[in-house]
Amino acid sequence: MNVQFLIQLIGLPLTLVLSILSAALFIVALILVVRFKNPQVLAAFQPLTWLPVAAGIISTFIELLSAIGLQLSDNDAIAGSSSLLFQMTLVPLLASLVATMPGLLTTVFGRYLLAWKDSGLRWTKPKASSSTTQEVDPDEWVSREADDYLEKLVRPR
C-alpha cells in the first residue's frame, strides 16, 4: 500500500491531525522523561497519549455511518462488498493506533526506567575502587576464621 492510497483512505484532515498529535505527544513525553523525571507526572500524562485513538474512533464511527448510507442506496456499484467496506472504514482506527505508539511507548518505558533507577537494582555489580577495599591474605583469613570458630567451641557456657 502506498502512502497516497493510505491518505485517500484515511483522509487528509485526519492524517494531519494524527501526525501533529503524534509528534506533539511524543515530544512532550520525551521532555517529561528526560527533564522532569517524575513517575507521577508520566502516569498523569499517559492517558493523554491515547488522544489519536479517540480521533480515530470518532473518524471510524463517522465513516461507518456513511458506509451504512452507501449500503442502503440503490446503486450497488458504489456499495461493493460489505466486508471490504467495513475493512476500509477501520483503516483510520488502525492509523490512529499507530500514531499513538511513539508517545505511549516513550511514556511507558520512561516510567519503567525511572522505577528501575529508583529501585537501586543494577545489572552488574558495581566496581569497587582499590583505595576503599583492603586486600585480604587468604591464609590470614582462614586462620582468623578458624580461631573464631575454636573460640566459640571452647568458650565455657
Burial class (CB in 10 A: 0-12, 13-18, 19+), 96: buried
pLDDT for the residue 45: 95
Mean pLDDT by 10 residues, the chain (157 residues): 82 93 96 92 95 93 80 60 77 93 96 89 72 70 87 74
pLDDT for the residue 129: 59
What is the value of pTM for the model shown? 0.69
- The three grid cell numbers given for residue 80, joined into one nine-digit string: 461493493
Cell 494531519 appears where? 16
pLDDT for the residue 75: 63
pLDDT for the residue 68: 75
Buried b (16+ CB within 10 A) or exposed e, 64-82: eeebeeeeeeeeeeebeee
Give me the sign of the Cα torsion angle 126, 129, 132, 135: positive
pLDDT for the residue 134: 63
